[in-house]
Amino acid sequence: MLRYLIFLTAMIHLLLQSDFSIADEKKTEAIQFFERRIRPVLVEHCYECHSATSKIIQGGLRLDSSQGMLSGGDSGAVVTPQDPQSSLILDSLRYEGLEMPPKGQLSEQVINDFQKWILDGAIDPRLDNKTPNDKSQWDLAEERKKWQYQPPLKHRLADQSSDNWSRTSIDGFILSQLEQNGLSPNPPASKRDFARRLAYDLTGLPIEEHLLSRFEADEKPNSKTRLVDALLNTPQHAEHWTRFWLDISRYAEDQAHQVGNNDSLNYPNAYLYRDWILDAFASDMSYQEFVRLQLAADLVAPNESQHQAALGFIGLGPKYYRRNSPEVMADEWEDRVDTVTRGLLGLTVACARCHDHKYDPISTEDYYALAGIFASTDMFNQPLNESVEKNGDQSKQPGDGLHIVREGKPRDLAVMIRGDVNNQGQVVPRRFLEVLTTKNKRYTKGSGRAELAESIIREQNPLTARVIVNRVWGQFFGRHLIDTPSNFGNLGSKPSHPELLDTLAVDFMDHNWSLKWLQREIALSAAYGQSSDREELKVTKDPENRLMWHMPQRRLTVEQMRDTMLVAADRLNPVVKGKSIQPDDPTSNRRTLYSKISRMDLNRMLANFDFPDPSSHSAQRFETTTPLQKLFLLNSPFAIAQANAIATRVKNISRSDESRIRELYRLVLGRPPSTEEIDAGYGFLENEMDQKWQAYSHALLISNEMFILD
């Protein structure tokens, strides 16, 4: 209370210095009344939820300024001077309608005070600072100075004369941070561990025996280079990296729910998008072109029919129940904005659908400027050929169409206040995010998709290259330079090696945005070549391995795991591209990449092994370890079929138990067994049981060594 008295005295003092009139005097009285009877109540009972310092401003209402009270919140103005009847705040205090404050009704006296105060004109001397409906609370000029909105620059390390560890441009940055923290890198991994790690990271498959023996025998310098190049140029490399992109683009072949048997919203030919991605990776298409075509192939390459499938990036997005109603379309646009901004820019723009972004300089205007592009774009089933039955321009059956997008009627959207489609604010022209542009140009060509693509991929865009470089990095190291790969905003994590990230991003752009260049640069680095050993002393200094003093142990992804089982069984079908399969069908032998991906009923095997929900963009995969996974490995018809195939191979090759055991280790783990392991095998084979070799092969096939990468 003392605080208010001091304030009051100061206020009166100020007023006394000015010219006085009777009106002024009345006003002074009113102010005194406010200060004595109203403000303390507001502070004590209301500010917690309704002031600038509230954690969450409830109902969009601020009661800590006169402006806030007069303009109100979601339910409109709460105070109408001289009109207690229309002043919502009185209803709430009386617990008629809203019940405020929620902790308990205030006394009759307090309510009467509020009534009197409103009747007398609701005089409120509190100065406004920011009110909730300010256009933007962000000082963009200031925000643009932050690292993520500054173009990346190439950094040079001062003194590298004593560094004979480094191999590629990456290593100097790693080493200098390690040294600054009194750490040193791990010794190199064994050739075997390295080759196995590399083959999984580049192709998703175990290292082939002949490549491994050639690499182990290769004593010449640059042996790693030869291995990396050999793997980079296989179709299996493109297969593996295609799945990486499908997580980002929330690839799926249907919708999360379906009305009755109506499957008209499904995407039976979604695989053509998957095939396009695969071709793009195989040909090392520049990332700029890769993004450009996925956003706007119909506009930038209308005559190149082979590239239209790229538009599946948007065209395979979720369609929701009751689409075409305004609320539902607003939800669909959110998916598009979210996939594009988190996926390509590492910004969570969809947060700004209902209110200005709380943490990043992104306004609702920014959101609706982008949403307008997708409101001007239609989902489209382009007939696969001339002969199919059509409905207008589209194929009549989804099975006869390529699921892409096309230009709709260009239109700008009005801001939907608090995300409410029925509460429209000002119309926002289609354009790019303000914080990423200096002079904000409107998009004028059709929907604006092609212009959006240019805004994203231009070299001056500070985020695009950094985001993809960080993602690719994470695929190799199991963690990213920025731990939140789809959120580079203020709530995202800070880069562990900012100069490295920036240098790599610039080099990536200088190398024609080549993903193969980037992968090669990482794969050949000394940092990536380290062992996964964990020395106690180093663990104490950097338990999270933030500084990358060792390679982490990783579990294979579900794709790598299933593919490895097929390889061990010698059953992997090498055919590249094409239609989808059911991955846990024991007879299916194509790579897991080709799994049918359902939003409605995601395959149980995939779901159990941490496959991301394909309903929305996935920033990265979780890695959980559960008994249900083990039950699949132990008892599923798929696992049993592979184990049986291996047992048959082993038994066909040799007659003696020891040579069969050796053969089993070669086929499954790609190495000879130790004496101890041979003994364990003998011990098991002594058991009385049917199908011993199947059981033994199965045990080896699902042992930890199969699924853990060092």
Partner 1 sequence: MKPILNRRELLIRSGAGFGAIGLAATFGEQLQAETTSKMTSAGDLGQSGDGLHHPAKAKRVIFLFMNGAPSHVDTFDPKPALEKYAGQPPNEGNGKNREGGFMPSPFQFARHGDSGIEMSELFPNLAKRADDLCVIRSMHTDVPNHEPGLLLMQSGHQQPTRPSIGSWLSYGLGSENKNLPSFIALCPGLPVVGPQLWSNAFLPGIHQGMEVDTNEKTVDRLIANLHHPTMDGESQRKQIALIQQLNQMHKSGLSDHNLLNAHIDAMQTAFRMQTDATDAFDLSKETTATRTMYGESEFARSCLLGRRLLERGVRVVQVFYVRKGQKQPWDTHQKNNEGHRKLCGDADQATAALIGDLKARGMLEDTLIIWGGEFGRTPYAQMNKSDDLSKAGRDHHHTGFSMFLAGGGIKQGFTYGETDELGMHAVQHRVHVHDLHATILHQMGIDHTRLTFRYSGRDYRLTDVHGKVVGDLII
Tell which positions 585-624 bind partner 1, by CB under 8 A.
Answer: 599-602, 604, 607-611, 613, 615-617, 619-624
Distance in Å, CB of 692 to partner 1, minimum: 9
Of 626, 652, 658, 671, the one binding partner 1 by CB under 8 A = 626
Minimum CB separation of residue 59 from partner 1 in Å reads 9
- What is the smallest separation between the CB atom of 487 and partner 1, expressed in angstroms? 5
Shortest distance, CB of residue 323 to partner 1, whole angstroms?
Answer: 11
Per the structure block, which two tokens stand in for 76? 């409109």
Identify which of residues 153 and 634 has a Cβ nearer to partner 1 in the complex. 634
Interaction pattern, residues 549-568, with partner 1; x per rule: CB under 8 A = ---xxxx-------------
Site for partner 1 contains 491 (CB under 8 A): yes
DSSP at 581: B
Residue showing tokens 């640069």: 521
Tell the smallest beta-carbon distance from residue 699 to partner 1 (Å).
Answer: 5
Does 631 bind partner 1 (CB under 8 A)? Our answer is yes
C-alpha–C-alpha distance, residues 169 and 500, integer Å: 9
Q: Is 506 one of the binding residues for partner 1 (CB under 8 A)?
A: no
- Shortest separation between residue 330's beta carbon and partner 1, angstroms: 10
Give least dist CB 680 to partner 1, A: 5
Residues that bind partner 1 (rule: CB under 8 A) add up to a total of 89
User: Cα(489)–Cα(349) distance, rounded to whole angstroms?
Assistant: 10
Is there binding between residue 408 and partner 1 (CB under 8 A)? Answer: no
Q: Are the C-beta atoms of residues 416 and 423 closer than 8 Å to each other?
A: yes
Q: Which of 130, 630, 652, 671 binds partner 1 (CB under 8 A)?
A: 630
- At its nearest, how many Å lie between partner 1 and the CB of residue 177? 19
Site residues for partner 1, 245-274, by CB under 8 A, read 256-257, 259
Q: Compare residues 56 and 158 and give the one whose CB is closer to partner 1.
A: 56
Whether the bond into 101 is cis, omega within 30 of 0:
yes
Instruction: Rule CB under 8 A: say whether 184 interacts with partner 1.
Output: no
Q: Is 620 helix (H, G, I), strand (E, B) or coil?
A: coil
Q: Does 532 bind partner 1 (CB under 8 A)?
A: yes
User: SS3 for 63?
Assistant: coil
Structure tokens at 43: 């502070």
Q: Which is nearer to partner 1, 230 or 685 (CB)?
A: 685
To partner 1, the closest distance from the beta carbon of 80 in angstroms equals 26
Burial of 574 (0-12, 13-18, 19+ CB in 10 A): exposed
The answer for residues whose C-beta is within 8 angstroms of residue 540's C-beta and 6 or more apart is none
Q: Given the complex with partner 1, which of 120 and 143 has the nearer CB atom?
A: 143
62 binds partner 1 (CB under 8 A): no
Tokens 């901004």 locate to 341
Under a CB-based contact definition with an 8 Å cutoff, are residues 196 and 206 in contact? yes
Structure tokens at 105: 């009704």
Contact 354, 360 (CB under 8 A): no
Residue 442 near partner 1 by CB under 8 A: no
List the one residue from 10, 14, 427, 708 that touches partner 1 (CB under 8 A): 708
**353 counts as binding partner 1 under rule CB under 8 A:** no
User: 263, 533, 542, 657: which one contacts partner 1 (CB under 8 A)?
Assistant: 533
Angle between helices 2-17 and 22-33 (to 10 degrees): 170
**Which lies closer to partner 1 via its Cβ, residue 389 or residue 690?**
690
Cβ contact 665:696 at 8 Å: no
Scanning residues 322 to 341, which ones bind partner 1 (CB under 8 A)? 322, 331, 338
In terms of CB distance, is 38 or 702 closer to partner 1? 702
Q: Does 534 bind partner 1 (CB under 8 A)?
A: yes
Inter-axis angle of helices 464-477 and 515-523, to 10 degrees?
40
- Shortest distance (Å) from residue 701 CB to partner 1: 10
Name which of residues 32 to 61 contact partner 1 (CB under 8 A): 56
Site for partner 1 in 359-378 (CB under 8 A): 359-360
Rule CB under 8 A: is residue 705 a binding residue for partner 1? yes
Return the number of other C-beta atoms located less than 10 Å from residue 607's C-beta.
Answer: 15
- Considering only residues 83, 321, 460, 585, which one is a binding residue for partner 1 as defined by CB under 8 A? 321
* Cβ atoms of residues 185 and 527 within 8 Å: yes
Q: Which of residues 668-687 bind partner 1 (CB under 8 A)?
A: 674, 676-677, 680, 684, 687
What is the spatial distance between Cα 372 and Cα 410, in angstroms, rounded to a whole number? Answer: 8
Query: Both tokens of residue 341?
Result: 């901004």
Q: How far is CA 389 from the centre of its chain?
A: 38
390-391 and 394-395 strand pairing: antiparallel
User: Least Å distance between CB 708 and partner 1?
Assistant: 7
Among 43, 111, 421, 699, binds partner 1 (CB under 8 A): 699
Interaction between residue 483 and partner 1 (CB under 8 A): yes
Beta-strand runs (E) in 384-510: 390-391, 394-395, 401-407, 413-416, 424-428
Write out the binding residues for partner 1, residues 634-653 only, by CB under 8 A. Answer: 634-637, 640
16's CB contacts (< 8 A; 6+ apart) are none
Footprint on residues 101-160 left by partner 1 (CB under 8 A): 102
- Does 477 bind partner 1 (CB under 8 A)? Our answer is no
| Residue 423 engages partner 1 in binding (rule: CB under 8 A) | no
Contact between 358 and partner 1 by CB under 8 A: the answer reads: yes
Rounded Cα distance between 335 and 333, Å, is: 5
Restricted to residues 69-108, the positions that interact with partner 1 (CB under 8 A) are 102
User: Are the C-beta atoms of 672 and 665 separated by less than 8 Å?
Assistant: yes
* Cα gap 114→118, rounded to integer Å: 6
Dist CA 624 CA 212 (whole Å): 30
What minimum distance in Å lies between the beta carbon of 421 and partner 1? 13
* C-beta separation of 580 from 212 below 8 A: no
**What is the rounded CA–CA span in Å between residue 413 and residue 399?**
33
Q: Does residue number 690 form part of the binding site for partner 1 (CB under 8 A)?
A: yes
